[in-house]
Structure 1
Amino acid sequence: MSAPLYQLKAELFKNLGHPVRIRVLELLSEREHAVSELLPHAAVEAAYLSQQLAVLRRANLVVTRKEGSVVYYSLASPQVAELLKVARALLTGMLAEKAELLADLRAATPETNSPRRAPS
């Protein structure tokens, strides 16, 4: 029997749940990249980037193409880029709400710079 859809979704998000993997997917949303092109943007050691790329490959989120000794990575589906765009829109909305709440709190807070009276 196959896993329920919610478990498969959880596994997908688990595979997305790492900053380096997200950064790589963002870069690959623009175009395919060789590993050597990804390294400066990922800001991690080559071996660590390789591990993260292997996770993305096993999750079928990226595909590879070899040209000579150079391995190029690209998104397995344009829907991965769409998912990242939706995540960005969600985060933008959440942060905008928090910024508005923070502004409201600051506006409602009495001046902290005014001198305090000593208790009598």
Structure 2
Amino acid sequence: MTAIYESRDRADAATEKLKIFAQPQRLMILSFLLRGENSVSEIDAATGIGQPALSQQLAALRQADVVKTRREGKQIWYDLADDASRLCVRTMEALLTDKPDPQQIMEAATRTVAPKKKPVTGTGTASFAKIL
């Protein structure tokens, strides 16, 4: 792995990635998604961002490949895209407290959070198949 100081391209890429996290509403969304996959309405209820700002921020996060989506009927579900995204958000939450503790930061960075279980929705044979 090339250290950031060794490559201007790497430094530029890192800066672009940091810009995604350097927006309060996006950071709130990402922090909430640490708890697992959620629908747009659940994200809105938890963060209070409201429309259309929530849609705009979710689009920016999708474009940056920090979140992934899943469609179920008319509803879209959001989750963090990968373990690297989880690690970034978890580490920021630990680092950006009033008094960061190095031990807590390491624990936060290495801890796994079990995603919450989503209830199975719908009716009929297709719903039954989802249970299996």
When normalised by structure 2's length, the TM-score is 0.65
Equivalent position amino acid for 2:41 in 1: S
Higher helix share: 1
Q: Distance in 2 between matches of 1:40 and 1:65?
A: 19
Q: Identify which of 9, 12, 24 aligns with 2:14.
A: 9
How far did 1:19 drift?
1.1
Residue 83 (structure 2) pairs with residue 78 (structure 1): yes
Which residue of the partner structure matches residue 101 of structure 1?
none
**Equivalences for residues 1-120 of structure 1 within 5 A:** 4-92=9-97, 95-96=98-99
Q: What count of residue pairs does the alignment treat as equivalent? A: 93
Structure 2 unmatched runs, 5+: 1-7, 101-132
Whole-Å separation in 1 of the counterparts to 2:72 and 2:93? 33
Cα distance in 1 between the residues matched to 2:91 and 2:63: 23
User: What TM-score comes out, normalization by structure 1 length?
Assistant: 0.71
Distance 1:53 1:29 in 2: 15
Aligned-partner Cα distance in 1 for 2:37–2:88: 17
Worse-superposed segment, 78-87 or 13-22: 78-87
1:69-98 per-position Cα deviation (integer Å, ceiling 9, x unaligned):
000001111221211222233233xx338x
1:6 alignment partner AA: A
Q: Which amino acid is the alignment partner of residue 38 of structure 1?
A: I
CA RMSD of aligned residues (A): 1.6
Distance 2:74 2:46 in 1: 21
**Larger radius of gyration, structure 1 or 2?**
1
Structure 1 residue ranges (4+ consecutive) displaced by more than 2 angstroms after TM superposition: 88-92
For structure 1, the 5+ residue unaligned runs are 98-120
